Amino acid sequence: MERNAIIAGFGIALPPRVEQHDVWEGYFQFQYAGPRRALAKRIFDNAGVYTRHAAVSPMLEDVADWSTERRMRRYQAEAIPLGKEAVTRAITDAGLSADQVGLFAVCSCTGYATPGLDILLARDLGMAPDVQRLFVGHMGCYAALPSLGTAADFVVARGRPAVLLCAELTSLHLQPPAVRADVQQIVSHALFSDAAAAVVVRPGDVSGYAVRAVAAVTDSSTADYMTWEVTDRGFRMGLSPKVPDVLAVHVRGLVEDLLARHGLTIGDVDGWAVHPGGPKILDVVGEQLGLDEDALAPSRAVLAAYGNCSSPTVLLVLDALRRRPSPPRRILMLAFGPGLTLYGTLLEASTVTA
């Protein structure tokens, strides 16, 4: 029997909000001197971020010299309640109970613990002992899309609901002063933020968005353009300014090939959930796909309100699209990360009337 995999529940949980201006004025401006301070100020001003969320605000608690061990202990303390809140909201939104979940998948590249979030949250939320679990780490900003594809495959194959949680705490990885002055670190600290987002994928005829297709392309010749290294002082981002150039080469081909499998073209898509890795990323995607500013407005709004939260971010854009007065019928989700890797996912509205 053919089954659909429908995104039928959403849940978002956020740590305290901070203003980008306040973070600069209250902390980062004091971390640079001379021309480097002027450069950092321009980067912060042009990041496209106005507010963001931080489990650990540098204005209240400077973790720059913390060991990785100390950061990981804090990660677990902060991520568990955030993840629990997001998953609880998603399950409730889907009209399910926790013991009905067949697969629980968790994405996070900003912290590790064993037992992991998947085990501890499944226990605390009351999921069944036979729930299958999957933890996805170090895929970075695109992790939500292959994980969503895996959840959808499980739902179709097993006929049971799946939950996907993406939880990232980038604020724990503030770098020491000697590293922080590097331009790539300035960009990272100006963009990245914290969030948890969860979705429930259900089988059968329910209202929501059906997962129709997932596609990827990796340009391994540019693998060193985006890195996330584990150091003795947290995780350090490597972010080449050449990343948008690589996306420009591959994004249109990925999108056209994905849509062609379903007899569609770019013009048939009326909702775009593009991961807002930064303003230039959105500019390049818009140029290559011929999208107008209205198509990219949800992504820019998420960047402005939340910053780049790594893996949850594309789910935040999807949530914004589904909340529109007239939600789109077809949505193409796009996200990018280490590899360099591009992922695309096609969704189609599924409406059930009584």
Per-residue pLDDT of the chain (354 residues; tens, 9 = 90+): 467 999 999 999 999 999 999 999 999 999 998 999 999 999 999 999 999 999 999 999 999 999 999 999 999 999 999 999 999 999 999 999 999 999 999 999 999 989 999 999 999 999 999 999 999 999 999 999 999 999 999 999 999 999 999 999 999 999 998 787 789 999 999 999 999 999 999 998 889 999 999 999 999 999 999 999 999 999 999 999 999 999 999 999 999 999 999 999 999 999 999 999 999 999 999 999 999 999 999 999 999 999 999 999 999 999 999 999 999 999 999 999 999 999 999 999 987 644
Strand 330-337 relative to strand 271-274, pairing? parallel
Distances from the Cα of 339 to the Cα of 17, 147, 224, 288, 314, angstroms:
31, 16, 8, 20, 18
289 in helix, strand or coil? helix
Asked if 177 and 31 count as a contact pair (C-beta separation under 8 A), the reply is yes
Asked if 273 and 331 count as a contact pair (C-beta separation under 8 A), the reply is yes
Which H or E run contains 209?
Answer: strand 208-218
Q: pTM for the whole thing?
A: 0.96
60, burial (CB in 10 Å: exposed 0-12, middle 13-18, buried 19+) = exposed
Angle ∠(116,176,57) on CA atoms, nearest 5: 60
Q: How many CB atoms lie within 10 A of CB 130?
A: 6
**Distance (Å, rounded) from C-alpha 123 to C-alpha 70?**
24
Asked if 332 and 271 count as a contact pair (C-beta separation under 8 A), the reply is yes
Instruction: Locate all alpha helices (DSSP H) within the chain, ordered by sequence.
Output: 20-26, 34-45, 68-93, 117-125, 144-158, 177-180, 183-191, 243-260, 279-289, 293-306, 313-322
HSE toward the beta carbon, residue 290, CA cutoff 13 A: 9
288, burial (CB in 10 Å: exposed 0-12, middle 13-18, buried 19+) = middle
Three-state secondary structure readout of 86-103: HHHHHHHHCCCCHHHCCE
| Residue 352: per-residue pLDDT | 66
Quick one: which of 331, 351, 254, 270 has its CA closest to 4?
351
141 flagged as catalytic: yes
Residue 211, sorted as left (phi over 0), alpha (psi -120 to 50) or beta, turns out to be beta
Widest pairwise Cα distance in the chain: 67
Distances from the Cα of 263 to the Cα of 259, 269, 351, angstroms:
6, 12, 21
Name all domains of the chain by residue range, CATH numbers in brackets.
5-203 (3.40.47.10), 208-350 (3.40.47.10)
Among the listed residues 107, 109, 141, 309, the single catalytic one is 141
